[in-house]
Amino acid sequence: MAGVEAIVGAAGPDVDMAPVPEADVILYDPQRTAPPAVAATSGRPAPTLIAYSWSIGGEVALQARAQGAAGLLSKDLSSARFLAAIRAIHAGERLDYTVSNEPGASTGRRERRPDGLTAREVEMLQLITQGLSNEEIARQLYLSINSVKTYIRTAYRKIGVTRRPQAVLWGVHHGMAEAMSSGASR
């Protein structure tokens, strides 16, 4: 929750953490809680219900749809994509029901990542290859330092390295330096 609060706090004046009766958008995890009852009140339209979960597989997507969610966002989204998806779903703009960093998540197909890495582990390795410290990564991704360290440790195990310079070299050899520089120019 602290991560979402940090993203919302940095989003700008059009986004804030309002109590449920006054909210325009309600986020909930369909695997942990049932969505709150949402209805129009005092001349206000009903809030837009958006599911937000680490798991975005078929069962979770079906459950979220059945619960009335207008979309399903993966918790692996960057803060910019997270906010853009919320704004788009709330505005009724057409996008895939499921929004994720996972390639092919909305179609059920996933591209193979090097060494079985998760999207978050790839992101960590990209930022390490770019030269960011753990603290800088934590700030940029709105994660705790312990979460960053855990993702990095797991990624290191999967790629067979034990030290940061080895991970940087691995990232360079796997095109992560180019990915970061081309992504920055967009």
Domains of the chain: 2-99 (3.40.50.2300), 114-181 (1.10.10.10)
Is the pLDDT score of 108 beyond 50?
no
Burial 163-175 (b: 16+ CB within 10 A, else e): eeeebbebbeebe
The number of angstroms, rounded, from the C-alpha of 128 to the middle of its chain's C-alpha atoms is 19
Q: 80-98 pLDDT, tens per residue? A: 787 888 888 877 775 666 7
| Three-state secondary structure call for residue 67 | coil
Percentage with pLDDT > 70 across the chain: 65
- Compute the distance between CA of residue 162 and CA of residue 178 in angstroms, rounded to an integer: 23
pLDDT confidence of residue 68: 81
Burial degree of 123 (CB within 10 A; 0-12, 13-18, 19+): buried
Token readout for 104 is: 């092919």
Given a cut of 50, whether residue 105 has pLDDT beyond it is: no
Yes or no: say if 77 and 99 are a contact pair by the CB < 8 Å rule. Answer: yes
Mean pLDDT value of segment 67-91: 80
Arithmetic mean of pLDDT, 153-180: 84
* Token pair listed for 98: 């499921």
Residue 166: what pLDDT? Answer: 93
Residue 1 in this model has a pLDDT that exceeds 60: no
Residue 134: band (very low, low, confident or very high) from pLDDT cuts 50, 70, 90: very high
pTM: 0.47
Q: What is the mean pLDDT of the chain?
A: 74
3, pLDDT greater than 70: no
